[in-house]
Protein backbone atom coordinates (compact mmCIF):
# COMPACT_ATOMS: atom_id res chain seq x y z
CA UNK A 1 0.00 0.00 0.00
CA UNK A 2 1.32 3.46 -0.93
CA UNK A 3 0.78 6.66 1.03
CA UNK A 4 1.72 10.31 0.75
CA UNK A 5 0.73 13.60 2.34
CA UNK A 6 -2.12 15.40 0.61
CA UNK A 7 -1.47 18.98 -0.48
CA UNK A 8 -1.04 21.47 1.14
CA UNK A 9 0.24 19.45 4.11
CA UNK A 10 3.96 19.21 4.86
CA UNK A 11 6.34 17.61 7.34
CA UNK A 12 7.58 20.20 9.80
CA UNK A 13 9.38 20.35 13.13
CA UNK A 14 10.49 22.82 15.79
CA UNK A 15 13.36 22.74 18.25
CA UNK A 16 11.40 21.13 21.10
CA UNK A 17 8.54 19.68 19.01
CA UNK A 18 10.33 18.11 16.07
CA UNK A 19 7.61 15.83 14.64
CA UNK A 20 4.66 17.58 13.07
CA UNK A 21 2.50 17.82 9.97
CA UNK A 22 0.75 21.06 9.10
CA UNK A 23 -0.93 22.82 6.20
CA UNK A 24 1.30 25.38 4.56
CA UNK A 25 -1.48 27.26 2.76
CA UNK A 26 -5.16 27.13 1.89
CA UNK A 27 -8.16 26.76 4.17
CA UNK A 28 -6.31 24.70 6.81
CA UNK A 29 -3.49 27.19 7.34
CA UNK A 30 -5.06 28.39 10.60
CA UNK A 31 -5.31 24.86 12.00
CA UNK A 32 -2.87 23.77 14.68
CA UNK A 33 -0.17 21.39 13.41
CA UNK A 34 -0.62 17.70 14.19
CA UNK A 35 2.20 16.58 16.49
CA UNK A 36 3.41 12.95 16.57
CA UNK A 37 5.62 10.70 18.64
CA UNK A 38 8.94 9.81 17.01
CA UNK A 39 8.15 6.21 15.94
CA UNK A 40 4.90 7.21 14.23
CA UNK A 41 6.54 10.18 12.57
CA UNK A 42 9.39 8.05 11.22
CA UNK A 43 6.80 5.78 9.61
CA UNK A 44 5.04 8.84 8.22
CA UNK A 45 8.26 10.03 6.58
CA UNK A 46 8.09 6.90 4.44
CA UNK A 47 4.81 8.16 3.00
CA UNK A 48 6.43 9.45 -0.16
CA UNK A 49 4.21 7.64 -2.67
CA UNK A 50 7.08 5.31 -3.61
CA UNK A 51 7.53 2.99 -0.60
CA UNK A 52 5.17 0.07 -0.32
CA UNK A 53 4.17 0.14 3.38
CA UNK A 54 2.63 -3.27 3.87
CA UNK A 55 3.63 -4.16 7.44
CA UNK A 56 2.50 -1.21 9.55
CA UNK A 57 1.74 -1.84 13.20
CA UNK A 58 -1.92 -1.64 14.26
CA UNK A 59 -1.24 1.60 16.17
CA UNK A 60 0.37 3.31 13.20
CA UNK A 61 -2.31 2.04 10.83
CA UNK A 62 -4.95 3.56 13.10
CA UNK A 63 -3.17 6.94 12.99
CA UNK A 64 -2.87 6.71 9.19
CA UNK A 65 -6.59 5.86 8.86
CA UNK A 66 -7.52 8.91 10.93
CA UNK A 67 -5.30 11.10 8.74
CA UNK A 68 -6.89 9.69 5.59
CA UNK A 69 -10.35 10.47 6.98
CA UNK A 70 -9.19 14.02 7.77
CA UNK A 71 -7.86 14.50 4.21
CA UNK A 72 -4.25 14.81 5.37
CA UNK A 73 -2.96 11.53 3.92
CA UNK A 74 -3.62 9.80 0.57
CA UNK A 75 -3.63 6.01 0.22
CA UNK A 76 -3.35 4.00 -3.00
CA UNK A 77 -2.79 0.44 -4.21
CA UNK A 78 -0.29 1.81 -6.74
CA UNK A 79 2.73 4.13 -6.49
CA UNK A 80 1.86 7.80 -6.36
CA UNK A 81 3.41 10.94 -7.83
CA UNK A 82 6.27 12.15 -5.60
CA UNK A 83 5.35 14.86 -3.06
CA UNK A 84 6.08 18.52 -3.86
CA UNK A 85 9.37 19.90 -2.59
CA UNK A 86 7.70 22.15 0.03
CA UNK A 87 6.14 19.03 1.59
CA UNK A 88 9.54 17.59 2.53
CA UNK A 89 10.59 17.56 6.18
CA UNK A 90 11.86 20.90 7.41
CA UNK A 91 12.86 21.69 10.96
CA UNK A 92 12.79 25.28 12.23
CA UNK A 93 15.57 26.50 14.59
CA UNK A 94 13.19 27.84 17.21
CA UNK A 95 10.45 27.01 19.68
CA UNK A 96 7.01 26.43 18.24
CA UNK A 97 5.43 29.79 17.37
CA UNK A 98 2.83 29.75 14.65
CA UNK A 99 1.37 33.26 14.58
CA UNK A 100 2.53 36.70 15.61
CA UNK A 101 1.10 40.18 15.93
CA UNK A 102 3.47 42.73 14.41
CA UNK A 103 3.45 46.46 15.03
CA UNK A 104 5.00 47.93 11.88
CA UNK A 105 4.84 51.48 13.19
CA UNK A 106 4.40 53.34 16.43
CA UNK A 107 2.91 56.34 14.61
CA UNK A 108 -0.73 57.20 14.16
CA UNK A 109 -2.78 60.05 12.71
CA UNK A 110 -5.28 59.87 15.59
CA UNK A 111 -4.86 60.96 19.20
CA UNK A 112 -7.12 58.58 21.11
CA UNK A 113 -6.98 59.02 24.89
CA UNK A 114 -7.27 55.29 25.41
CA UNK A 115 -4.34 54.43 23.08
CA UNK A 116 -2.39 51.55 24.59
CA UNK A 117 0.76 52.26 22.58
CA UNK A 118 0.88 56.06 22.91
CA UNK A 119 0.74 56.14 19.14
CA UNK A 120 0.46 59.90 18.62
CA UNK A 121 3.79 60.38 20.38
CA UNK A 122 5.40 57.54 18.42
CA UNK A 123 6.78 56.28 21.71
CA UNK A 124 7.52 52.90 20.13
CA UNK A 125 9.16 54.50 17.06
CA UNK A 126 9.03 52.92 13.62
CA UNK A 127 11.34 50.28 12.11
CA UNK A 128 12.91 51.12 8.76
CA UNK A 129 11.83 49.27 5.64
CA UNK A 130 15.12 47.41 5.68
CA UNK A 131 14.47 46.28 9.26
CA UNK A 132 10.94 45.22 8.30
CA UNK A 133 12.17 43.15 5.35
CA UNK A 134 14.73 41.52 7.63
CA UNK A 135 11.91 40.77 10.10
CA UNK A 136 9.91 39.09 7.32
CA UNK A 137 12.88 36.87 6.47
CA UNK A 138 13.26 35.98 10.17
CA UNK A 139 9.55 35.20 10.46
CA UNK A 140 9.91 32.87 7.49
CA UNK A 141 13.03 31.27 8.90
CA UNK A 142 11.15 30.55 12.13
CA UNK A 143 8.21 28.94 10.33
CA UNK A 144 5.63 31.61 11.18
CA UNK A 145 2.57 31.04 9.02
CA UNK A 146 0.38 33.98 9.96
CA UNK A 147 0.95 37.62 10.91
CA UNK A 148 -1.61 40.10 12.19
CA UNK A 149 -0.51 43.64 11.35
CA UNK A 150 -0.93 46.45 13.83
CA UNK A 151 0.56 49.85 14.80
CA UNK A 152 0.01 52.66 15.52
CA UNK A 153 -1.80 53.00 12.23
CA UNK A 154 -0.22 50.60 9.70
CA UNK A 155 -1.29 52.56 6.62
CA UNK A 156 0.47 55.71 7.79
CA UNK A 157 3.68 54.19 6.40
CA UNK A 158 4.21 55.09 2.75
CA UNK A 159 6.00 51.75 2.27
CA UNK A 160 3.32 49.51 3.86
CA UNK A 161 2.69 47.84 0.50
CA UNK A 162 6.33 46.69 0.26
CA UNK A 163 6.01 45.05 3.68
CA UNK A 164 2.75 43.33 2.71
CA UNK A 165 4.30 42.21 -0.60
CA UNK A 166 7.28 40.73 1.25
CA UNK A 167 4.95 38.77 3.56
CA UNK A 168 2.97 37.44 0.60
CA UNK A 169 6.19 36.50 -1.25
CA UNK A 170 7.34 34.65 1.88
CA UNK A 171 4.00 32.78 1.86
CA UNK A 172 3.11 34.17 5.27
CA UNK A 173 -0.60 34.76 5.63
CA UNK A 174 -1.66 38.29 6.55
CA UNK A 175 -4.47 37.81 9.04
CA UNK A 176 -6.10 40.76 10.76
CA UNK A 177 -4.93 44.28 9.91
CA UNK A 178 -5.70 46.57 12.84
CA UNK A 179 -6.46 50.03 11.42
CA UNK A 180 -8.49 53.09 12.31
CA UNK A 181 -9.65 52.95 8.66
CA UNK A 182 -9.14 56.68 8.10
CA UNK A 183 -6.47 56.11 5.42
CA UNK A 184 -8.29 53.40 3.49
CA UNK A 185 -8.76 54.51 -0.12
CA UNK A 186 -9.49 52.57 -3.30
CA UNK A 187 -5.83 51.70 -3.81
CA UNK A 188 -5.46 50.22 -0.29
CA UNK A 189 -8.71 48.29 -0.70
CA UNK A 190 -7.63 46.97 -4.13
CA UNK A 191 -4.33 45.70 -2.71
CA UNK A 192 -6.06 44.03 0.25
CA UNK A 193 -8.68 42.50 -2.04
CA UNK A 194 -5.95 41.06 -4.26
CA UNK A 195 -4.14 39.55 -1.28
CA UNK A 196 -7.36 37.90 -0.11
CA UNK A 197 -8.35 36.60 -3.56
CA UNK A 198 -4.83 35.23 -4.21
CA UNK A 199 -4.96 33.51 -0.84
CA UNK A 200 -8.34 31.96 -1.57
CA UNK A 201 -7.19 30.67 -4.95
CA UNK A 202 -3.87 29.24 -3.69
S1 LIG B 1 -6.33 54.86 16.26
FE2 LIG B 1 -5.47 53.19 17.48
S3 LIG B 1 -3.24 53.43 17.33
FE4 LIG B 1 -4.18 55.35 16.67
S5 LIG B 1 -4.19 56.64 18.52
FE6 LIG B 1 -6.19 55.59 18.36
S7 LIG B 1 -5.96 53.73 19.58
FE8 LIG B 1 -3.88 54.50 19.19
Alpha helices in the chain (DSSP H): 38-44, 58-69, 129-141, 160-169, 186-201
53, 47 contact by CB (below 8 A): yes
Last residue of a domain, one of 60, 91, 122: 91
108 C-beta closer than 6 A to ligand 1: yes
- The continuous run of DSSP H or E covering 9 comes out as strand 9-14
Q: How many CA atoms lie within 13 A of 84 on its CB side?
A: 9
Query: What atom of ligand 1 comes closest to residue 114's alpha carbon?
Result: 7
Q: What is the largest CA-CA distance in the chain?
A: 67
Distance of alpha carbon 174 from alpha carbon 101, whole angstroms: 10
Distance of alpha carbon 197 from alpha carbon 16, whole angstroms: 35
Last residue of a domain, one of 76, 91, 106: 91
Q: What is the pLDDT of residues 12-37, one digit of tens each?
A: 999 999 999 999 887 788 899 999 99
42 C-beta closer than 6 A to ligand 1: no
DSSP state of 24: -
If you take atom 6 of ligand 1, which residue's CA is the nearest one? 112
What are the residues facing 150 on neighbouring strands?
103
Same domain (yes/no): 122, 143: yes
Same domain (yes/no): 28, 78: yes
Same domain (yes/no): 53, 84: yes
Same domain (yes/no): 122, 184: yes
Domain count, the chain: 2
Same domain (yes/no): 6, 86: yes
Count of CB atoms situated within 10 Å of the CB of 108: 22
DSSP state of 97: -
Residue 201 pLDDT more than 70?
A: no
Q: Which domain holds residue 154?
A: 97-201
Find the range with the poorest average confidence among 41-45, 85-89, 113-117, 185-189: 113-117
Strand, helix or coil at 142? coil
Q: What is the pLDDT at residue 202?
A: 61
| 137 Cα to the center of ligand 1, angstroms | 28
Q: What is the pLDDT at residue 121?
A: 66
104 C-beta closer than 6 A to ligand 1: no
| 121 Cα to the center of ligand 1, angstroms | 11
8, 23 contact by CB (below 8 A): yes
If you take atom 3 of ligand 1, which residue's CA is the nearest one? 152
Find the range with the poorest average confidence among 56-60, 72-76, 157-161: 56-60
Q: What is the pLDDT of residues 77-100, one digit of tens each?
A: 999 999 999 999 999 999 999 899
Ligand 1: which of 116, 118, 120, 153 to mutate, judged by most atoms within 8 Å of the beta carbon? 153
Q: What is the pLDDT at residue 196?
A: 79
Query: Strand pairing of 99-103 and 73-76?
Result: unpaired
Q: What is the pLDDT of residues 140-159, one digit of tens each?
A: 999 999 999 999 999 999 99
Q: What is the pLDDT at residue 142?
A: 94
Amino acid sequence: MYYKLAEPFAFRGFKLLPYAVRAERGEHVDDEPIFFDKPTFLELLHCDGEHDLCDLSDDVREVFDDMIKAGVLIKSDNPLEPPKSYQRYKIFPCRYVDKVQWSITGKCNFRCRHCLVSAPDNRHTQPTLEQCLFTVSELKRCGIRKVDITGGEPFIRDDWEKIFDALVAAQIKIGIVFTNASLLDNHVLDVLEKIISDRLSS
